[in-house]
């Protein structure tokens, strides 16, 4: 993975209101029009699948790049976050940050809910 100096680390923040993707994640995903969000309960990971073409879009996909504001994309999905909290026991009342890791083989951004970032300043 190549990164631009201004992009920083690929950080995904999860809070009670939804999921926020920073600029580095947006670039890793190659600025897709939409995404699909999946969850593997056994592995406790979230998979983000970028969608680029109209024929890939469906009722389960979320608008993505059109939501970009100031280098971030926020997807509001409170019910999904409540589900994650219930399944994992993680309290998302305060934002929890994770590294996003691109899985080339699967074509997914992987977020490992077992590995939150602690003491990592992502506001710079």
Instruction: Sort residue 24 into left (φ over 0), alpha (ψ -120 to 50) or beta.
Output: alpha
pLDDT of residue 57: 83
CA-closest candidate to residue 120, choices 6, 10, 24, 23? 10
Which token pair is 68? 């970009």
pLDDT of residue 107: 94
pLDDT of residue 55: 82
pLDDT of residue 75: 96
Query: For 69, which DSSP code?
Result: B
pLDDT of residue 7: 54
CA-closest candidate to residue 12, choices 24, 3, 30? 24
pLDDT of residue 119: 61
Residue-by-residue pLDDT tens, the chain, 124 positions? 454 545 578 999 999 999 999 999 999 999 999 999 999 999 999 999 999 988 888 888 999 999 999 999 999 999 999 999 999 999 999 999 999 999 999 999 999 999 999 765 444 3
Domain ranges of the chain: 11-112
Kindly report the pTM of this predicted structure.
Answer: 0.86
pLDDT of residue 122: 42
């Amino acid at each position: 993975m190549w990164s631009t100096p201004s992009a920083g680390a690929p950080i995904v923040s999860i809070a009670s209101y939804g999921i926020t993707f920073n600029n580095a994640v947006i670039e890793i995903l190659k600025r897709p029009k939409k995404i699909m969000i999946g969850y593997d309960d056994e592995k406790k990971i979230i998979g983000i699948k970028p969608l680029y073409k109209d024929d890939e879009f469906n009722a389960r996909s979320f608008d993505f790049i059109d939501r970009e504001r100031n280098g971030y994309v926020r997807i509001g999905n409170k019910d999904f976050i409540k589900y994650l909290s219930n399944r994992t026991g993680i309290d998302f009342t305060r934002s929890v940050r994770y590294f996003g890791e691109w899985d080339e083989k699967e074509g997914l951004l992987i977020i490992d809910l077992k590995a939150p970032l602690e003491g990592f300043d992502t506001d710079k």
